[in-house]
Every structure is written in C-alpha cells, then in structure tokens.
Amino acid sequence: MKTLRDFNFKNKKALIRVDFNVPLDENFQVTDATRIEAAKPTIDAILSQGGSVILMSHLGRPKGIQEKYSLKHIVNTVSAILGVTVEFVADCVGEAAQKAASNLQPGTVLLLENLRFHPEEEAGDLAFAKALASLGDIYVNDAFGTAHRAHASTTIIAQFFANQKCFGTLLAKEIESLNRVLKNSQKPVTAILGGSKVSSKITVIENILDKVDHIIIGGGMTFTFVKALGGKIGNSICEDDKQELALEILQLAKEKGVQIHLPVDVVAADSFSNDAKTQIVAANQIPDGWQGLDVGPESLVIFEKVLLESKTILWNGPLGVFEMDAFAKGTIALGNSIAKATQNGAFSLVGGGDSVAAVKQFNLEDKMSYVSTGGGAMLEMLEGKTLPGIAAILDN
C-alpha cells in the first residue's frame, strides 16, 4: 500500500482528490469544516517537502454549472485551515486550469472548480480523467467518502500515473482502521448495528459474522427481529417481508457461535414526536398504538457489559431516534459505554452518517479510537466489497 512516505514531493505537483463536499448555509458559509480539516495532514506533509498541491473535489449534486455549487465559496475556509493563501481556478480542465497548474510554485495550493460541473466526472470518462491527470506529477487519493465510486477523479485517473500514485494520510488511516476491525482484530469483537432497516444491513451482517463474537442490534430494525420471533411490536417500524431473513440471520449466527443481542426493553411512544407520551415496556410487549423509539435502561446495562468485555468495537447506526431529545438517551449511553471501553484499551471504530452525527452531537468524537469520514464507502467495505478508488491505487 503506497502512502505519502513512499515519495519525495520536492518540486513536484501533487494532484490530490479530496472530499470537500461540505455543507454551506444560505450565505455560502461552510457550516462544518470537518472534511477540510481531515485533509490538512496530507496537504501539510506535501507542502513541507517543497511540493505544490492541486486540490480537486466535488460539491453537491449540480445539474451542469450551478453557481451555488461553486467551490469558490469555500476558498477562504480552506485558506484559513491550511494557513496558506489558496488560489482558485474557475474550471478543473481546459486552458485556464492548465495555465494555473503550470504556474504553481513550490509551497503553494490551487483549488480546482467543482468536478461535477462536467458530466464526464461521474461517467468515468477516460479523456476527462486524462485531462485532469495532465495537471500533476503525482496522484494522491485522500477522499474515502468517494472511494466507492468509479468516477474519473477517484478511479479512472489513476491509470495515467503508473507508479506515481498513493493514498493520502486520511485514506490510509481509513483503510488501516477498517482492516483493524475486519482482518487484524483483537477478540472479542463486537459490532453494533443500528438504523431503521434490516435490508440496508443484510450484506454487512453476512460479511462480518465470521469476524465478530457479538452483534448488538438497535434502532428500527430491532422490531423486524422481535416480530419474527413472535413478539408484539405495536406500531413500531417493521419490514414484514424481511422476517424470514431475520430468523435466518439469527440461526446462522448461532451456528457460527456469534451472540446476537436484541434490546429486552424499549422506550415506547404514543406518537412519533418529541412531545409524545412515553413508557418503558418489554421489547416484545409493545401495546397497540405505541411504537418503540429508543432502547430501554435494562438493555443498556446488558449492552455495556458486552462492550466492556470487548477488545474491538464497530459502531454503525444509532439505537434510537437520537435527533429527538426524548429518544436520544440510548444512543448517548451506548456512546459513553464505548468511550469507557476505549479508555480501557479497546479499539473503537465509528462509521456511517448517523453514528458519526451522533458522536459529534454528543461530544464523544475524541473518546473513540477512530471516526470514519465515509458513510457509503465504509458500508461497502464492511460488506466485503473492493472499492474502485482503493483498487485503482493498489493496481500498478
């Protein structure tokens, strides 16, 4: 696996695929700069060696050229985070981009315009990838969030760099962290899978059954399992067509010696609202007209015991509707249990949009071993898929 350490960037132009797909408010101000901050170590390392940096990214899902998706809006934020004045060019290929790239001096940074202003980017167009490639000497992929897409700038471009390509610091860390869970884990290994649907996590469960000792199931998908086992779930969310599958998963886990922990109690509500009436009931005895929106206190005691005995922990998906204060307690308590296990020496990896949002919201980010930057990409790696953006760097 080639990383920055394998190259000398002095007087070289590093063409870096970053993931600067950041949220902007109505005044085009960046509201969360996490992704820009995550790319800083890679950029700093190259600049410190006397190299120059050309940054390419997408922003949003533009239909053609749309001013509101221009990367010019983030130039000041990127400059402030990097501590250098970032130059901007209003295209990513063509004469203006070529000129800006060729005039780049060592120690300077150039940000290209939104890649997705060109439909060729998402189409994985070869000529477009070649035009991008002509701007730099060494290709660095540091965008884990897009590594599962075979786009021009994430995958196709790599073939124009033969041995002059590598992973950036962030992407290398993502791969190492996931491998630490999937391939080189210390046992016991516990995976926490939340979210609303079993269907979105089936392949993950199937792929990790050989690698884990415990699976804690939370969130809405709990009720598909509970109903399949004959429980009463009231008005709780449920995928009726996945009940048989839920039973198959439980059986397969049993055969492989993996313990699956379902909530034993839940916080039930009489409506999907922060102001709903609530009661704590057994997870398989939810009254009609009520729905489970968080795990209950008894379940949390059981889950914490499992986590404190674990050496490797993967968290993907919240335990309840944490966006509502009334139903956030389970997710917060779980996060605190993982933090405690991490403090005791366990390796904890958090990934997936909602889990990452939860650890940030409840100030737990610094208490985890690693918080992944890629939702879809991480899920696909957990499913055992080879991501095209990663394969392109490994393929010489």
389 belongs to an annotated ligand binding site: no
For residues 332 and 368, give the distance between their C-alpha atoms in angstroms, rounded to a whole number. 13
> Do the domains 4-173 and 185-382 sit in the same CATH topology, yes or no?
yes
The confidence score (pLDDT) of residue 226 equals: 97
Res. 374: pLDDT tops 80: no
| Domain boundaries, given as residue ranges, for the chain | 4-173, 185-382
Has 59 been labeled as part of a binding site?
yes
126 labelled as ligand-binding? no
Average pLDDT over residues 339-364: 91
The residue among 188, 290, 200 whose CA lies nearest residue 236 is: 290
CATH assignment of 185-382?
A: 3.40.50.1260
Token pair in block for residue 193: 């899978």
Ligand-binding annotation for 206, yes or no, is: no
pLDDT for 353 equals: 65
| Across 365-379, average pLDDT | 87
Q: What is the pLDDT of residue 90?
A: 97
Residue 258, strand partner residues? none
- In this prediction, residue 153 carries a pLDDT of 98
Asked if 332 and 367 touch (Cβ cutoff 8 Å), the reply is: no
Taking each continuous run of H as one helix and of E as one strand, the counts in the chain are 14, 17
Helix axes 297-308, 329-343, angle to 10 degrees: 20
- Catalytic residue numbers read 35, 197, 353, 376
What whole-number distance in Å separates Cα of residue 89 and Cα of residue 95? Answer: 10
Kindly report the backbone phi and psi dihedral angles of residue 270, in degrees, each rounded to the nearest multiple of 5, phi listed first: -90, -5
pLDDT of residue 379: 83
> Which residues lie closer than 8 Å to 391 by C-beta, 6 or more apart?
155
pLDDT in tens, 15-58: 999 999 999 999 999 998 989 999 999 999 999 999 999 999 99
In CATH, what number does 4-173 get?
3.40.50.1260
State the pLDDT at residue 110: 98
Token pair recorded at residue 242: 């996945």
